[in-house]
Amino acid sequence: ARMTLELPDDLRREIVDHARSGAPEEVVGVLAGRRGDPSRVDRVYRATNVANCPEVRYEIEPTAELELLERIDGAGFDVVGFYHSHPHGPLEPSDTDARLAAWPDHSYVIVSLAAEPAIGSWRWRGDRFEAEPVRIG
């Protein structure tokens, strides 16, 4: 059975705005809320992309990531997953995205700005990405 991700419309807009403001570099952030099926995003935390080639990949500095995760935990939320943008690229996760994915059963949201902004989500299964529906509401 496929998992579902629930994403409130205002948070969807926030992610798209972040992607637009960061282009042509990829942006990255953490999704917080309730993890499960469905997972629900209640808050979005922007992070800084420190990748050496930020146009085509993303990376959160480890100390900054740890601080974000502690803030999320302190606020009483689960880490639901992560989001990043593909300023020119397809909506699907890249091979690089799969190599970097480290959180099984968490959601990886991608924003593509290639044409109209589009958003999709994939649940990392430890060895592959599985597309999941995004319910905007």
**pLDDT of res. 79:** 97
Q: State how far the Cα of 121 lies from the Cα of 59, in Å rounded to an integer.
A: 18
**pLDDT of res. 77:** 98
Give phi and psi for 5, each to the nearest 5: -115, 125
Question: Would you name the residues annotated as active-site residues?
Answer: 26
**pLDDT of res. 1:** 54
**pLDDT of res. 53:** 93
**pLDDT of res. 24:** 96
Q: What is the 3-state secondary structure (H, E, C) of the chain?
A: CCCCEEECHHHHHHHHHHHHHHCCCCCEEEEEEECCCCEEEEEEEEECECCCCCCCCCCECHHHHHHHHHHHHHCCCEEEEEEEEECCCCCCCCHHHHHHCCCCCCEEEEEECCCCCEEEEEEECCCCEEEECEEEC
C-alpha dihedral sign at 72, 75, 78, 82: negative
pLDDT along the chain (137 residues), means of 10: 89 97 97 95 98 94 96 97 94 93 96 92 95 93
